[in-house]
Amino acid sequence: MSPASPNALMVGPWWRLVRGGNVLVGASAVAVGALMVTTDISAIEWVIIGLHAFCVASFMAAWNVFNDVFDAESDAINHPERPIPCGELTEFQAKAIGRFCFLLSIATLLIAMFVTSRYTENLESWLPSIGIWFVAFLLMFHYEMVVPESFSLKHKGLAGNLSVSLLVGIVIVFGAAAIGGVGTPLVWLVAAVAILVNAAREIIKDIEDEDGDEDRETLTKRIGPDSARAMAQMLVILSLLPLVAPYARGLLPMGLLITQLPSMLALASIKPRLYRGEDNAAQRTLRLAMLLGLAGFLASVLLPLQYSSL
């Protein structure tokens, strides 16, 4: 059993177990989704958005914990610094944290429903939030669980990569649903960017973890690392379409396409890194590109508001 690295020990094991940084990003994406619907948000709507963000954060934390529990053996090879393989937490303790986070997500969703029904007149338009949460639950169940009722997507190569990425995208839609804007076209285009970029990242992460993924039939194992890298690059190229579409279709000011330049440059840097086999650098850059893309969309809806107030 490998000891945790000095840097890892600086952060609490429970925080690393739930992947706290990713959880915070997911919670922030809820607010981005809401702002893609409108910037005219009332105080009570911000409360509901906050509850949705907490619901997402606790749900993502639960999924990350269950993932670490089920991957304990492979993580001993691929990621020995994680809390379970390095012995900072037992599987029993991790499962308890996972169950608590999952129940907290359910409770927060119910509180959001109560607040919406009690203090607004938008309960009917809010109800898709429940459906989205159940879609996320089904994705988690069919990805992680190895039981006869599960599709075992984790062991189905590209299908597993897409299921994880779909969860990333629907977090943005969940934020829009918090204020009754689930049908807003801009929201779905932003979600599409997140899905495609994250799918490419998941493929590359599987290339990194090939040695330890003995019990998984990943895309890398099916078609080889070079072909998997080519597939990831194709997804990166496809992600440029929904990235540019909102500006081309007039959903956002065309002049503000410049706010997406950092994301585009990050995406353009992926191909040479994949060619050189720099998989870790490539997947980290894809994560950065996705965050820069969300920031660009956020700037594109907020900057016109600033100009109009001058």
Here the tokens at position 220 are: 């890398």
Q: Which of 171-175, 212-216, 287-291 has the lowest mean pLDDT?
A: 212-216
Q: Residues 77-97: what's their mean pLDDT?
A: 88
CATH class of this structure's domain 10-183: mainly alpha
More confident residue, 78 or 280: 280
Give pLDDT tens digits for 215-267: 677 788 888 999 999 999 999 999 999 999 999 999 999 999 999 999 999 99
Max CA pair span of the chain = 61
**Which residue in this structure is represented by tokens 């943005």?**
172
pLDDT given at position 72: 81
Domain definitions of the chain by residue range: 10-183, 184-304
Mean pLDDT (the chain) is 90
pLDDT value at 276 more than 70: yes
pLDDT value at 6 more than 80: no
Closest CA to 157 of 197, 213, 217: 217
Question: Residue 305 — very low, low, confident or very high, per pLDDT cuts 50/70/90?
Answer: low
pLDDT given at position 307: 55
Are 30 and 173 within 8 A, CB to CB? no
> What are φ and ψ of residue 228, in 5° steps?
-65, -40
Residues in the chain: 310
pLDDT value at 17 more than 50: yes
pLDDT given at position 285: 96
Distance, CA of 177 to CA of 160 (rounded, Å): 25
Which numeric CATH code is attached to 184-304?
1.20.120.1780
pLDDT given at position 185: 97
Q: Residues 14-35: what's their mean pLDDT?
A: 93
Q: Which of 102-116, 159-173, 284-298 has the lowest mean pLDDT?
A: 159-173
> The dihedral of CA 32, 36, 42, 44: what is its sign?
negative
Kindly provide the b/e burial profile for residues 208-247, where b requires at least 16 CB atoms within 10 angstroms of the residue's own CB.
bbbebbeebebbbbeeebeebbebbbebbebbbebbbbbb
Distance, CA of 285 to CA of 76 (rounded, Å): 25
More confident residue, 245 or 164: 245
pLDDT value at 4 more than 60: no
